[in-house]
Amino acid sequence: MKKFFDKVKDRIKKFSFDDEISNGHGEYLELDTTRQHDKASKVVVRPFVIEDFSDIKAILDSMRGGYTVGLVNIRPLKDKDLVELKRAINKLKKTCEAVDGDIAGFGDDYLVIVPSFAEIYREKAKEEPEE
C-alpha cells in the first residue's frame, strides 16, 4: 500500500498548482468527464469458495490476470479434506509468489489474495516489556 501512495504522491508533485495560477489559468482545473476508463485497469474484489481442489483453477486464472483481489472461503474443503486443503493452499502460495502477489489467512475460514501492486497489512508481534 505504501508503494501505491508513493506513486500517487510523485504524480501530484509533478503537477504544481502554483504554476497554473502564475500562468493566468486561474484556480480551477478542468476535468474530462467524458473519458472512458479501461475495464482491464479496474480492480475487482471477487469471492471464491473452495469445495474441491479443482476449484482453485478459477482463482489461479484471476490471479494471473493481475487485477483481482480474491476472498477465498476455504471452510468447505477444510471440513472435507485437510490434505487437499494444504495442497490447494500451497498451489495458491506458489502462484502468488510467481506473480509477485500476496496471500494471507483472514480468520479461520478465509484467505485473502492480492495482486502485485497491493500488500496485505500484517500486524507485527508486540514485544513484552522488560521488567
Per-residue pLDDT of 36-87, as tens digits, reads 656 557 899 999 999 999 999 999 999 998 899 999 999 999 999 999 999 9
130 in a structural domain: no
Query: Could you tell me the sign of the dihedral formed by the alpha carbons of 15, 7, 69, 39, in that order?
Result: positive
CATH number, domain containing residue 71? 3.30.110.150
CA distances (Å), 63 to each of 18, 58, 95, in order?
A: 42, 9, 8
Across the chain, mean pLDDT equals 81
Q: Does the predicted model carry a pTM greater than 0.85?
A: no
Grid-cell match 521488567, residue found: 131
Q: Give the cell for residue 103.
A: 496471500
102 in a structural domain: yes
Is the pLDDT at 29 greater than 80? The verdict is no
1 in a structural domain: no
101 in a structural domain: yes
Confidence band, pLDDT 50/70/90 cuts, at residue 124 = confident
Query: In terms of residue numbers, what domain contains 98?
Result: 43-120
110 in a structural domain: yes
Q: Give the cell for residue 31.
A: 476535468
79 in a structural domain: yes
87 in a structural domain: yes
Phi, psi of 110 (to 5 degrees): -135, 150
90 in a structural domain: yes
Domains held by the chain: number: 1
Closest CA to 80 of 51, 118, 117: 51
Q: What is the pLDDT of residue 97?
A: 92
Grid-cell match 500451497, residue found: 90
